[in-house]
A and B are shown apart, each in its own frame.
Chain A
Amino acid sequence: LAKTTQPISMDSYEGQEVNITCSHNNIATNDYITWYQQFPSQGPRFIIQGYKTKVTNEVASLFIPADRKSSTLSLPRVSLSDTAVYYCLVGAFQKLVFGTGTRLLVSP
């Protein structure tokens, strides 16, 4: 399973764009990169998934360089409700391993 490294925490203000980078140097050819969001006392929630280049949905964008050894989750114009822990996961389909994630704090 590919090991991931993310910043432990990040701070931002409402209305700013937030970019969270995850490194996964030993990503395998078949591995997808998936990001989840977790609020306190709730289950993780799927945000976005990608394999290469750029993926965008209604809540976020995911940028993956050609070597796929890292990825960046981009949250446009964050609000207070985006305060949460964000997890980058890479690996086998059936046994996703959650790291410590990035704790994002959005302030007014």
Chain B
Amino acid sequence: EPEVTQTPSHQVTQMGQEVILRCVPISNHLYFYWYRQILGQKVEFLVSFYNNEISEKSEIFDDQFSVERPDGSNFTLKIRSTKLEDSAMYFCASSVRDPGGSYNSPLHFGNGTRLTVT
């Protein structure tokens, strides 16, 4: 079964450094997402991406965050200047949307990147 893959599985960085988290969504999927989960807390929506642009973002997704689909397969999340509170699991997800809008295509998640900011 095709799956969403994320690299690295664990990233340690110092406060103020830039990090890029990478994801390879399922190949025929059209919508891409980033979520994060701080240890012991809820899974939180960050951003959705379609047709090479952000379609929706949460209040968490401020100017320090950016997303990019640099080629036909990768989808990246960049944090420009990391803070201690950015430490979390970051999940990438993808989905196929039925153009007719009659089916709510489920999200397929990767296994995440654990980001530790020291």
- A interface with B by C-beta (< 8 Å): 30-32, 34, 36, 38, 41-46, 49, 87, 93-100
Contacts and interface: CB of A to CB of B under 8 A. Distances in A.
A93 B43 contact: no
A43 B88 CA distance: 13
Interface stretch (B11-19, B67-75, B77-85, B104-112): B104-112
Interface in B85-118: 89, 91, 93, 97, 101, 103-112, 114
A97 B97 contact: no
Contacts of A87: 43
A97 B45 contact: yes
Interface of B: 4, 31, 33, 35, 42-45, 48, 50, 55-56, 58, 89, 91, 93, 97, 101, 103-112, 114
Contact of B43 (A38, A41, A49): A38
A44 B44 contact: no
A32 B12 CA distance: 38
25 contacts: A32-B103, A34-B106, A36-B107, A38-B43, A41-B111, A41-B112, A43-B91, A43-B93, A43-B109, A43-B112, A44-B107, A44-B109, A45-B109, A49-B104, A93-B104, A94-B31, A94-B48, A94-B55, A95-B48, A95-B56, A96-B45, A97-B45, A98-B35, A98-B44, A98-B45
B7 to A, nearest CB: 14
B107 A96 contact: yes
B104 A44 contact: no
